[in-house]
Amino acid sequence: MKITLEVNGTAHTLDVEPRRLLADVLRDDLGLTGTHLGCEHGICGACSVLMDGEAVRACLVLAVQCDGSSLRTVEGLAGPDGEPHPLQRAFSAEHALQCGFCTPGFLMVAAGALEADPDLADKPDAVAGVVGSNICRCTGYEPIRRAITRAAREQREASSTHER
Amino acid sequence: MKPASFDYVVPRTVAEAVQALAGPGRTAQVLAGGQSLILEMHLQRIRPRLVVDINRIPELDGMRVDGDGLRVGALVRHAAFERADAVPGPLGTLLSRAVVNIAHPPIRSRGTMAGSFGWAHPASEWCAIGVALDATVEVTGPDGERALPARDYFLGPHRTARRPQELITAVRLPLLGGHTGVGFVEHRRTHFCFAQVAVAAALTVHDGVISDVRIGLVNSADRPVRARAAEQTLLGTEIGPLPTGRRLPDGHPFARAGRVAAQEDAAPVAEPYADAEYKRQAVAVLVGRTLREAATDLGSRLAVRQGDPR
């Protein structure tokens, strides 16, 4: 089946079997191996990407379902000049990763939450919802919570400076 | 494993979808949120010959208040209920308290309420709320539309009164009135587990006397349960002042209703880490706690209405 995906701002026309998962098409057909596949059961969240701005499990969405959709993967987070995304800087500053396998998934769920809610920094329950969405076996989650909160705070400060 | 191959169609209207489902000699599956279906297809416990993706049927999207009920279209995602004011009155509060127990945000952004009714898992939060409140499941098939009352709809794990050629188009829930308080309490091993037991309650009180009560039990039988025997013990009971302290006194009507729910309404199925006796105990405790939460919710609603700043 012929589909068109916009991935990180670039349009791709692909011919995929309906049985193929979004995660496999991103990794195998488009070479975007930053999206990791852990459990393939929708539990671990390592494969999370943004589909039309909302975080989804790329292992629980068929690629054909995304025909005409706009997708963002971890490769699309950094700026055009390679400048890391505020979340990536915060993850580094707070030591929110160790082996790094789960990191792309956490970054994308957090990016979706941050874009949907500019006041995420004031909502510890919402941050906990993001942190509780995925599995990390290294950090114990607390550094990830701190990193997301830090990025949310920085984003808001940056936007309020901009408004002044 | 990966899903086995299947044919895939994307109808644009309900009529087209029903036509696709009615095709001869094919095992067809409806794909809405897909958060259970695609997992089962990974495991190849479900190997449909045809997948009917209903995500591009505009008439299935959206929810609206319609008379004294809420009509939830088949494409309304779980996430739509996260805000208590997404749905008016105590029903909105009940749905918002339940929804946070359904998986996590990236699953709730895809999965649908109607899909939960279609999948009919005994541990589904929505299905227990549906039987407790007398929801209606609206389906369309080759012979036209039917409205199936939730109490006759669930026949067992993943078994329902829906015929294979029928498509669920919406779920209707009655709005709850002003004298009603709601509660939802879930017990599970970890954040990533299904409910071992959960309870939904809606408690209506007039002049200090319980005039209506609805209690739904999650994962307390092979299907969602409305705890009618427990409800009966409460009707006409004076609610009185709520007891303080963490534990309800054994003689309190809510504690008594919990024991009745555990013994007479629940028919627990043993699972790893939760045998039937454990589940009965959990039902007894959680029903009491949920009723207390509903009574507290009602108290704060009345306080707001009377302008009491409490």
Distances (CA, A) of A82 to A78, B4, B290: 6, 40, 52
| Three-state DSSP class for residue B255 | helix
- Tell me which of 3.30.497.10, 3.30.465.10, 1.10.390.10, 3.40.120.10 is the CATH number of domain B61-174: 3.30.465.10
More confident residue, B178 or B198: B198
| Three-state DSSP class for residue B118 | helix
Q: Which residues lie across from B203 on neighbouring strands?
A: B181, B213
Cα–Cα nearest to B31, from B15, B47, B12, B8 = B8
pLDDT tens digits for B69-124?
999 999 999 999 999 999 999 999 999 999 999 999 999 999 999 999 999 999 99
pLDDT tens digits for B145-161?
999 999 999 999 999 99
pTM, whole model, 2 decimals?
A: 0.95
Using the structure block, give the residue that is written with the tokens 């995500």: B55
Cα–Cα nearest to B298, from B265, B254, B261, B266 = B254
Using the structure block, give the residue that is written with the tokens 């690629």: A63
Tokens representing A52 are 């039309």
Residue among B31, B39, B106 minimizing CB distance to A48? B106
Could you tell me the fold of the domain covering A2-76? Ubiquitin-like (UB roll) (3.10.20)
Reported confidence tier of residue B308, pLDDT bands at 50, 70, 90: low
Reported confidence tier of residue A144, pLDDT bands at 50, 70, 90: very high
Cross-chain Cβ contact A61/B38 below 8 Å: yes
What was the pLDDT predicted at B18?
96
Q: For chain B, what percent of residues have pLDDT higher than 70?
A: 99
8 A C-beta contact, residue A71 and residue A8? yes
Superfamily of domain B180-305: CO dehydrogenase flavoprotein, C-terminal domain (3.30.390.50)
Q: Is the pLDDT reported for residue A140 higher than 80?
A: yes
Cα–Cα nearest to A10, from A70, A58, A67, A62 = A70
Tokens representing A35 are 């999206």
Interface residue ranges in chain B relative to chain A, Cβ cutoff 8 Å: 2-8, 31, 34-35, 38-39, 42, 51, 53, 55, 100, 103-107, 109-110, 191-192
Residue among B6, B109, B110 minimizing CB distance to A18? B6
8 A C-beta contact, residue B226 and residue B132? yes
CATH 1.10.150.120, chain A: domain bounds: 86-163
What was the pLDDT predicted at B71?
98
Q: May I ask the CATH class of domain A86-163? A: mainly alpha
CATH 3.30.390.50, chain B: domain bounds: 180-305
Average pLDDT of the segment spanning B241-268: 95
Q: How many CB atoms lie within 10 A of CB A52?
A: 13
What was the pLDDT predicted at B192?
83
8 A C-beta contact, residue A66 and residue A52? no
Supply the DSSP string of B188-205, one letter for each residue.
Answer: -SSTTSPPSEEEEEEEEE
User: For residue A55, which residues of chain B lie inside 8 Å, CB to CB?
Assistant: 105-106, 109
User: For residue A45, which residues of chain B lie inside 8 Å, CB to CB?
Assistant: 104, 106
User: For residue B42, which residues of chain A lie inside 8 Å, CB to CB?
Assistant: 40-41, 59
CATH 3.10.20.30, chain A: domain bounds: 2-76
Q: In terms of C-beta density within 10 A (0-12 exposed, 13-18 middle, 19 or more buried), how is residue A35 classed?
A: buried
Reported confidence tier of residue A164, pLDDT bands at 50, 70, 90: low
CATH 3.30.465.10, chain B: domain bounds: 61-174
Cross-chain Cβ contact A60/B110 below 8 Å: yes
What was the pLDDT predicted at A162?
66
Residue among B8, B100, B106 minimizing CB distance to A56? B106
Cross-chain Cβ contact B192/A18 below 8 Å: no
d(CA A52, CA B23): 33
Reported confidence tier of residue B16, pLDDT bands at 50, 70, 90: very high
Cross-chain Cβ contact B2/A21 below 8 Å: yes
Domain over B7-53 is classified CATH 3.30.43.10: yes
8 A C-beta contact, residue B71 and residue B170? yes
Q: Is the pLDDT reported for residue B25 higher than 70?
A: no
Please name the helix (run of DSSP H) or strand (run of DSSP E) that holds residue B167, with its range, or none: strand B167-174
8 A C-beta contact, residue B301 and residue B310? no
Reported confidence tier of residue A27, pLDDT bands at 50, 70, 90: very high
Supply the DSSP string of A2-66, one letter for each residue.
Answer: EEEEEETTEEEEEE--TT-BHHHIIIIIS--TTS--S-SSSSS-TTEEEETTEEEETTSSBGGGG
Residues in Cβ contact with B45 at an 8 Å cutoff, skipping those fewer than 6 apart: none
Q: What secondary structure letter does DSSP report for B269?
A: P
Cα–Cα nearest to A18, from A1, A32, A35, A4 = A1
Q: Is the pLDDT reported for residue B1 higher than 60?
A: yes
Cα–Cα nearest to B150, from B195, B123, B120, B175 = B120
Beta-carbon pairs below 8 A across chains A and B: 79
Q: Is the pLDDT reported for residue B62 higher than 90?
A: yes
User: For residue B103, which residues of chain A lie inside 8 Å, CB to CB?
Assistant: 42
Q: Which chain A residue's Cα is nearest to B6?
A: A19
User: For residue B109, which residues of chain A lie inside 8 Å, CB to CB?
Assistant: 54-56
Cα–Cα nearest to B14, from B35, B30, B34, B33 = B30
pLDDT tens digits for B269-301?
999 999 999 999 999 999 999 999 999 999 999
pLDDT tens digits for A72-81?
999 999 998 9
Reported confidence tier of residue B190, pLDDT bands at 50, 70, 90: confident
